[in-house]
Amino acid sequence: MRPAITRLSQMKRPKLLMKAARFALEGYDRKRALPRILGKTPARHDHTIDELLLHEEQVESLRRSGGADYSPARHIELLTAIIAEARSLAAPDQVQL
């Protein structure tokens, strides 16, 4: 199992955030979302997940600390992209988010 997939399977996030991210999957468009989130469109899914996870960890830290810069919409956007990229990288039975 890849390290990113292992990290994904160990993530603990509020149910409401995850539910919103899963709901947003239907409208996820990699070509539109990744340039907005990362500033570029990476070609490889495994590198994309690593970058997304780094961004998400920063946002999660802001959420936990009650930082004024925390954006639930940004957090949902990141989680949605992570789930979509993980699904394209792994078999469906490997990632349970």
Residue 68's contacts (CB-CB under 8 Å, 6 or more residues apart) are none
pLDDT per residue as tens digits for the range 68-93: 999 999 999 999 999 998 888 765 45
Sorted by where each begins, the domain ranges of the chain are 3-89
pLDDT per residue as tens digits for the range 8-51: 777 889 999 999 999 999 999 998 999 999 988 776 766 888 89
Q: How far is CA 80 from CA 2, 41, 65, 69, in A?
A: 19, 16, 22, 20
Cα torsion 1, 64, 29, 49 to 10°: value is -30
Stated pTM of the model: 0.83
